[in-house]
Amino acid sequence: MALIHAFEKSGNALFRIRGQVPVILFLLAVPVIYFTGYDTLDGAAVLVLTWISVILSFSGFIIRAISIGTTPAGTSGRNTEGQVAESLNTTGIYSTVRHPLYLGNYLMWIGIVLFTFNIYFVIIVSLMFWLYYERIMFAEERFLERKFGDAYLGWSKKVPAFIPDLRKYEKNPLPFSFKSVLRREYSGLLATVTGFMFVDFLRQFFTVGKIEPFGISGYAFLLALAITLILRSLKHYTNILIEKGRS
């Protein structure tokens, strides 16, 4: 099998199981937190790192929300089982970066990783993320190139793959849909908050031998869980979040 075909095949396989990545990160975080020397960090450093972590994850969520809230149904946007695209997204956030959803994923999860306060873990996860998602992006771009030909090639040559170039921004003719974000992103919100709580509880257990469930992370989790249950119910049992022409 030619290398280009092997890359595409592995990318499609990794695309289908990418939802399991958070589980791997949770497992890796256990020994990382156990062996991290938290006694060398003062209160100011902990506060700064915590805020940077939250800002990174929140930025990733915003990027994903913009991507999902400005894409119509049947486009090269948020798909779960395989590559799907009836039209090509080239305006709005897609005029500044080709893979905004993957960029959002990275920022959301690297924020949680940084919350372990272990810089080596941040570097390792960043490298793992790039190796993993590089194959997925390669497979996705091969699919889009075959489907849209010169239209895709022209767009891809001027728009960076992962690091946005805001100078290339072109206004999206489709208005932002808050309903699309509410309908599709509540699970990501819950997973992110759960990740922060997991790291916080594990760090408490390894450093002081007990867990205080009613702290900031615990209350944030309960709030995110309540939001998730409400939005999931609205999605499955009502038409409130349905919007014509949106995926």
Q: What is 3-175's CATH number? A: 1.20.120.1630
- Cβ(109)–Cβ(125) below 8 Å: yes
List of residues 6+ apart from 1 with CB closer than 8 A: 9
Q: Cα(175)–Cα(186) distance, rounded to whole angstroms?
A: 20
3-state secondary structure of 79: coil
Give this prediction's pTM. Answer: 0.89
Q: Where are the domains of the chain?
A: 3-175
Q: Could you give the CA distance from residue 183 to residue 229 in angstroms, rounded to a whole number?
A: 12
Task: Say if residues 11 and 136 touch (Cβ distance below 8 Å).
Answer: yes
Q: What local confidence, expressed as pLDDT, does residue 142 receive?
A: 86
Distances (CA, A) of 156 to 128, 129, 137, 161: 24, 21, 12, 8
Question: Hey, what are 91's tokens?
Answer: 């305006």
Listed in sequence order, the residues at least 6 apart from 98 whose beta carbon sits closer than 8 Å to its beta carbon are: 137, 141, 155, 156, 159, 160, 161, 162
Tell me what pLDDT residue 78 has: 47
Alpha carbon separation from 96 to 161, 165, 170, 184, 234 (Å, rounded): 9, 5, 8, 23, 33
Q: How far apart are CA 13 and CA 102, in angstroms?
A: 16
DSSP states of 144-201 as a string?
HHHHHTHHHHHHHHHS-SSS--GGG-B--SSPP-HHHHHHHSHHHHHHHHHHHHHHHH
Q: Which two tokens stand for residue 165?
A: 């170039």
Give the pLDDT of the chain (247 residues) as one tens digit per residue.
566 667 667 767 767 767 777 788 889 999 999 999 888 888 899 999 999 999 999 999 999 999 999 887 766 544 555 555 667 888 899 999 999 999 999 999 999 999 999 999 999 999 999 988 888 888 888 888 888 888 889 999 999 989 999 999 999 888 899 999 999 999 999 999 999 999 999 999 999 999 999 999 999 999 999 999 999 999 999 999 888 877 6
